[in-house]
Amino acid sequence: MNNEQELENIHKSANIVDVISSYIPLTQKGKNYFGVCPFHEDHSPSMSVSEEKQIYKCFSCGAAGNVFTFVSEYENVKFIEAVKIVADKCGLIFKGSQSIKKSKPNKIEYEIMDLSLKYYQNNLNTELGKTAKEYLNSRKLTSTDIKEFDIGLALDSNHSLHSLLTSKKYDIETLANLGLINRNGKYINDVFTNRIIFPIHNLEGETIGFTGRIYRKEDSEQAKYLNSKETIIFKKGQILFNYHRAKKEIARKKEVIIVEGNMDAIRMSSNGIKNVIALMGTSLTKEQVDIIKNLRAKVILMFDNDNAGETATFANGNILESAGLNPFVVRLSGEKDPDEYIIKNGTKAIIDNIANPISFLEFKLKYLKKNKDLSKTNDLVSYIKEIIDNIKDINDDLTKELTINKMSKDYDLPIDLLKKELQKHENTKIIKVEPQKKLVKKKISKYDIACRNIIYFMLNDIKYIIKYKKDLGFLDNKKYRGIASEIIYYAEKENGIDMASFITYINTKDYLSDDVMEIIKEVNLEELDMASFEEFIRVASVEMARNQIKNLKEQIANELDANKRLELANKLLEIKKGCVGYEK
C-alpha cells in the first residue's frame, strides 16, 4: 500500500462529524451539523459540517477543510501529526509518515542538536554522572523524571562534545553558530561544562537548545543557569518550554498554566500537573501569544512569589488581555516559586490553588494599590485613573460595568463621574490607534475572483472539470493554472473528484496546498449551478483576452518588420472576434 492509499484509507475510516464532535458540540440541522467555530470569537453556531461531503466550513471566518485540516488547526500541529491523531481516534496505525514528510530546512542543525542531547544523556548514565544524579535525586527528581524530560550532563571537560561532533565530520562554523562551542582564535572549548543539561524543544518536540545548571558546591560562584544563545533554529520568542509534552493535556483540560521557569514546569508535570508550559526568560511575544490563543484554553498565570514575579504577572497579563484573552492568576505564598512550593507543601496544595484562581482584573486592582495610601486624595485619584486606563481596552462591557460599580461603592464616588472618565479614556484610545487600524486591503481583480470560483466549482463536481476543459482549458496565472491541472490529474486518476479527499492528497505535496486551502476558505458559495460557472468561465476568458491583446499591442508597437506587424495585427483581430463580451 502506498502513502496516498494509506492516507485515503484513514480518511475514509474517519467520520468528520464524529471527530469534530469530540472537540466541539455539534447539532444536526437538516443534512448538515452546526457548531460554534473554535477558530474565531464565535457566539452562535457558524460552522457547518457536512457528513455527506466530509468537509467543514465556517461562514463567518472562512475556516474550512477536511477532518485532517480541522485537527491540524485545532491542535496546532502539522498535517502529518493530525493524520496520526485521526488514525489513533479510528483505532488505526499510520505507518507512512516518515516517507511523505515535506523536506525540512536546517536538517544538519537538528541532527547536531539531537546527537548532542544523546551525548549529554549518556554522560548522566555513566559513572561520571553519579554525583549529578545524586543531586537530581536530592531535588526530588526520579529516574522516570530524568528520562521523561531528557535530562543530561555536560562533563568536566572543555572539549568532549566538540571532539565528538567534529569526529562525525560536522564543521566548526556550524557548531559555533549553534552555540555549542566557543571559538577564540585557535582556542575552542565546549560552551556547557560541569552542568546538568535540560534540553529546550520546539513546538514539534525537536531539540533546539539547552539550559545548563550548576550542581557542584565548588561551582557556586558561577551563574546558576547558562542558556543556549539564539540560533537559526532557536528563537526564544517563538517557543514555550514543555509545549510539545503539555499540548494534549491542555486540549483535554481546556486549561493551560504558564510559569516562569523550566524547573517549575518540570516539577509540576512530574507531579501530575501536565498542562503546564514555561516562558523563555522574556515577556510574551506576539508569536507566543498566538500559540496560546490557538490552544483555546483557560489561561492561568502562576509566576514566582516575589516582586519580579508580581511585575511579570501584571505585564504578561496585560499582553494577553490586549490580545483578547481573559487570563486568571494564582499567587502562591511562602515559597519562592512553584518548584519549591510543591516540595514544601505537596501537590494537593498547589492543585487547590490552581482550582481557585483570581481573575486578572482582580489581581490588577490589588496590584495597582501597591505603594499607595488611598486615604490621601492624590493617591486615590492616581489609583482610580490607573484602573480606568487599564479597563478601557477590555472588550467585555459587563466587566467594565462591574469594575466601575465596585469603585463607586468602595470609594463613594458618583458612577456618572467614573463613566465619564472611562469614556474620555476610551475616546483618547480611539484617536491614538485609528491611524494604525487603517489597513490597505489588497485589491482582488475580477480575474482572480473568477479563477478562484472556477477552482472551487471544479473541486465540487466532475461536471465542472469537464466544462472547464471544453470551454477554457487554460488559465494564464501560474498559480491557478497549477491548481487546475492538479485537480484534472487527480480526477482522471480517481475517476472523479471529492473535495475532502483532494485536500488530503494536496497536503502531501510541497507545493500548492496553501493556495488550495486559501481558495477553499475564501470562496463562500452555498449553492453551485452551471449557469454561474459558465459566467465565471466567461469572465476569466475575457480577462485573459485583455491580457493577450495588451501584449500583442505592445509587440506591434515595438515591431519594425511590416510583415510581422501585419501577422500580429491579424492575430489581434482574431482574438477580439473570438472573445465574446470583450469591449474596447
3-state helix/strand/coil string of 503-546: HHHHCCCCCCHHHHHHHHHHCCCCCCCHHHHHHHHHHHHHHHHH
pLDDT in tens, 88-124: 998 888 876 544 445 568 999 999 999 999 999 999 9
- pTM over the 0.85 mark: no
**For residue 17, which amino acid is it?**
V
Q: What is the pLDDT of residue 431?
A: 36
pLDDT (mean) for 411-421: 88
The CA distance from 451 to 473, in Å, is 12
Q: Which residue has the cell 543539561?
A: 197
pLDDT (mean) for 453-461: 95
What percent of the chain has a predicted confidence (pLDDT) above 70? 92
C-alpha cell at 101: 514528510
pLDDT in tens, 124-135: 999 999 999 999
The CA distance from 28 to 15, in Å, is 15
pLDDT (mean) for 552-568: 77
478 in Cβ contact with 511 (< 8 Å): no
CB contact set of 483 (below 8 Å; sequence gap of 6+): 455, 512, 515, 516, 519
* φ, ψ (nearest 5 deg) of residue 395: -80, -15
C-alpha cell at 117: 542531547
Q: What is the pLDDT of residue 426?
A: 72
Question: Which of these ranges, 243-247, 375-379, 507-511, has the smallest mean pLDDT?
Answer: 507-511
- CA atoms within a 13 Å half-sphere pointing along the CA-CB vector of 221: 1
pLDDT in tens, 272-321: 999 999 999 889 999 999 999 988 899 999 999 999 999 999 999 999 98
Q: Is the pLDDT of residue 428 over 70?
A: no
The CA distance from 301 to 278, in Å, is 10
Radius of gyration of the chain (CA): 30
Cα dihedral 514→520→523→526 (10° resolution): -170
The CA distance from 424 to 462, in Å, is 59
256 in Cβ contact with 274 (< 8 Å): no
Q: What is the pLDDT of residue 512?
A: 84
Detail the DSSP E strand segments found in 237-282.
255-259, 276-278
Q: Is the pLDDT of residue 561 over 50?
A: yes
At residue 564 the predicted structure's pLDDT band, cuts being 50, 70 and 90, is: confident
Q: What is the pLDDT of residue 83?
A: 92
At residue 2 the predicted structure's pLDDT band, cuts being 50, 70 and 90, is: low
Least Cα distance to 366 among 412, 300, 419, 313 occurs for 313
Q: Is the pLDDT of residue 545 over 50?
A: yes
Q: What is the pLDDT of residue 402?
A: 84
